[in-house]
Amino acid sequence: MAKSLEEARKRLDDEFGQVRRHLKDIHQALDKVEAAGPEDELEELLEKLEDEVKKARTGGLLGHGANGHTRARKEYLEAKQG
């Protein structure tokens, strides 16, 4: 059972790390929105920000995003309770 708990924790940490890495992209997109002026294309900048948030939430082509973290967290907590 301990090995299963260790594996569940490793998966949880991996999924959490993926979501944290996406935050950098969200911050960069948000910085562009905040730095925009009246002549900038706000709709396009907001769409890019939205895309980055979606990637963090649902994952990209290779990741699971926050959805994967939710599943991994559930499995870890179940394994932890024994």
- How far from chain centre, in Å, is Cα 51? 12
Residues contacting 5, CB < 8 A, separation 6+ = 76, 79, 80
* b/e code 62-71 from CB counts within 10 Å (16+ = b): ebbbbebbee
Written as tens digits, the pLDDT of the chain (82 aa) is 456 999 999 999 999 999 999 999 999 999 999 999 999 999 999 999 999 999 999 987 667 889 999 999 999 999 999 7
> How much is the pLDDT for 5?
94
**What is residue 40's DSSP assignment?**
S
- Each domain of the chain, given as residue ranges in start order, spans 2-81
